[in-house]
Structure 1
Amino acid sequence: MQTVRAAFRDECARLGEVLLGLDEVDLDRPTDCRPWTVRELLAHVRTGAGRLVDMLAAPAPPHAEVDAGGYYGAAKFTPPVDAARIEGGRREARELDGPALVADFDRAWRAALDAVDAAPPGRVVRTRHGDAMALAEFLRTRVVEVGVHGLDLAAALDRPPWLTPTAAQVVADLLTGGRAVPAELGWDRLTLIRKATGRAELTDRERAAVDAAGFRWLSFGG
């Protein structure tokens, strides 16, 4: 839990620092998460980062049924679910201007971290998909959401990726199942994450090495 907590804190704080320097023109830039703009993607990230507050206020399921890898199952992200997710981000972006949205992101992730710190050891939560998950496992998915969408935001803003080392470790370990990346690929953690989440294309050679290693890429929907 402490490793995942630190990763969530570090990645959210770093994103918050970046957001303070953005203007309305920056927020209206398009992203590769179409059809979202930077503003709309940020609204989605804000909602995801703060989701644990309500989850921890709800009754705890008796036991966990899904881990972080299982949370990212293709069956969850059907076209209707994806459409609702996209519209939700667009709707939420319309409700706040830029400074208010940035401030609300800061409030949301800090409130989530406070809720995590107040939770008892072994706490189980229920996700919006109905999954019962250990709190630490769901928090791992929040690191993925903030970290990977941070790559999307960096690309849209023409900035170098700011993925923090703690978040990179958590995301990379989830993507590989804790196994070593084949040495012949020569990937660092950032490259692994970009390749595994579709932010960079795999060459035929890379795909063959990934298949031979038995990696199971996850399905991301939010």
Structure 2
Amino acid sequence: MDLFSRSWAALREAVAGLPDQDFARPSGCTGWLVRDLACHLVIDAQDVLITLVTPADTEPTADAAGYWHVAQEPPTGTDPLDALTVRLAAAYEDPALLTFHLDDVGAAAGRAAGLADPDALVSTQDMVLTVRDYLTAYVLEWTLHHLDLVAHLTGVPGPPAEGLAASRALLERIAGAPFPASFTDADALLIGTGRRPASDAETAQLGALSGTLPLVLG
């Protein structure tokens, strides 16, 4: 629960500190500028708020790893929801309006997470999870998008080390195998989710695991 809050606060703080010109730079998400990614984070924050007030009365059907669907193809940026995000982001025009909205809704999502009972059951995307597992899944979401945010920027702080480590551990559960110990947590996440290709040497270290990558999470 605390790791969710720290990861989310670090990501929002990084966005809040960006100069206006950085919002027009590319992000690590295919087809998205930084402003598009920031707009997606607003939508993510809304999803967190909605889920935390959507109680379930059945047993859990998924845990933090099972929350993630692994797609067969990487995103192209042309998915209708992705395209809508781009249009919404452009409608803000002034980056200050976008950062204000993210801070407003994002802070509310953070407060809601802090107040939630970790053992309570919530429903989202036809799944039932404990709040603890749901927020654990979102640590991976925040960490990956923090890496996306800084992918083409300089001087912007990256995700917290503890968030990177926890996200790597969760991705290894999803993959069903550990990444090589020589990989940094960031490299394991970037290579594991297809955000950057593995070098020949890294592919050799991955062994059989390389045949299952990338893990395109959705």
Matched, 1:197 2:193: yes
Alignment map for 1:64-79 (pairs within 5 Å)? 64-74=60-70
The runs of 5 or more residues in structure 1 that have no matched partner are none
- With over 3 angstroms needed to count, the CA separation of the structure-2 counterparts of 1:8 and 1:50, relative to structure 1, is farther
Partner in structure 1 of residue 12 of structure 2: 16
Deviation of the 1:172 alpha carbon:
0.9
TM-score (norm 1): 0.80
Tell me the CA shift for residue 6 of structure 1. 2.4
Q: For the Cα contact (< 8 Å) 1:197–1:220, is it kept in 2? A: yes
Residue matched to 2:115: 118
Counterpart of 1:108 (choices 105, 109, 116) is 105
**Post-superposition shift, 1:205?**
5.0
Aligned residues: 214
Out of 37, 42, 51, which is 1:41 matched to? Answer: 37
Q: 2:58: which partner in 1? A: 62
Question: Alignment identity in percent?
Answer: 29
How far, CA to CA, are the matches of 2:73 and 2:132 in structure 1? Answer: 22
Q: Which has the higher helix share?
A: 1
Cα distance change on mapping 1:196 and 1:214 into 2, 3 Å = closer
2:200 and 2:40 map into 1 onto residues whose CA distance is 33
Partner of 1:182: 180
Distance in 2 (CA, whole Å) between partners of 1:98 and 1:200 is 28
1:92 equivalent among 65, 71, 88: 88
Distance 1:29 1:110 in 2: 25
1:124–1:134: 8 Å Cα contact kept in structure 2?
A: yes
Task: Please name the residue that 2:23 is paired with.
Answer: 27
Structure 1: distance between partners of 2:53 and 2:73:
25
Instruction: Find the aligned partners of 1:174 and 1:108 in 2 and give their Cα distance.
Output: 26
For 1:132 and 1:202, locate their aligned partners in 2 and report how far apart those are by CA, in whole Å. Answer: 35
Quick check: 1:147–1:167 contact (8 Å CA) kept in 2? yes
Structure 2 regions of 5+ residues with no counterpart? none
How far apart are 1:204 and its partner, in Å?
4.8
What's the TM-score once normalised by structure 2's chain length?
0.81
Q: Which amino acid aligns with 2:142?
A: V
Q: Secondary structure at the match of 1:68?
A: coil
